[in-house]
Amino acid sequence: MESQKKMMVVFGLVAAVFLQCVAAQTTHVVGDSVGWIIPPNGAQQYVTWASGQKFVVGDFLIFNFTTNSHDVLEVPKASFDSCSSTNPIGNIITTGPANITLTSSGEHYYICTFGRHCQSGQKLAISVSASATSPGSSPSAPSPSTTAGTTPGVTAVPPSSSSPAVGAGFVLCSLSLVMGLFF
Ligand SMILES: *[C@@H]1O[C@H](CO)[C@@H](O)[C@H](O)[C@H]1NC(C)=O
Ligand SMILES: *[C@@H]1O[C@H](CO)[C@@H](O)[C@H](O)[C@H]1NC(C)=O
Ligand SMILES: [Cu+2]
**10 vs 133: which has the higher pLDDT:** 133
CB 183 near ligand 2, within 6 Å: no
> Which of the residue ranges 22-36, 41-55, 163-177 has the most confident prediction, judged by mean pLDDT?
41-55
**57 C-alpha to center of ligand 1: Å?**
24
**69 C-alpha to center of ligand 3: Å?**
6
**For position 131, what pLDDT does the model report?**
75
Q: Name which residue sits closest to atom 2 of ligand 1, judged by CA.
A: 64
Return the ligand 2 atom nearest residue 101 CA. 5
**Could you tell me which residues are beta bridge partners of residue 132?**
none
Is the pLDDT reported for residue 78 higher than 80? yes
- Exposure string for 33-69, b = 16+ CB within 10 A, e = fewer: eebbbbbeeebebbeebbbebbbbbebebbbbbeeee
Asked which of 40-49, 98-107, 166-175 is least confident by mean pLDDT, the reply is 166-175
**For position 21, what pLDDT does the model report?**
52
**What integer is the mean pLDDT of 26-47?**
96
**pTM (global) more than 0.85:** no
Best probe residue, ligand 1, of 37, 64, 69, 72 (max atoms within 8 Å of C-beta): 64
**For position 136, what pLDDT does the model report?**
38
**What integer is the mean pLDDT of 168-182?**
47
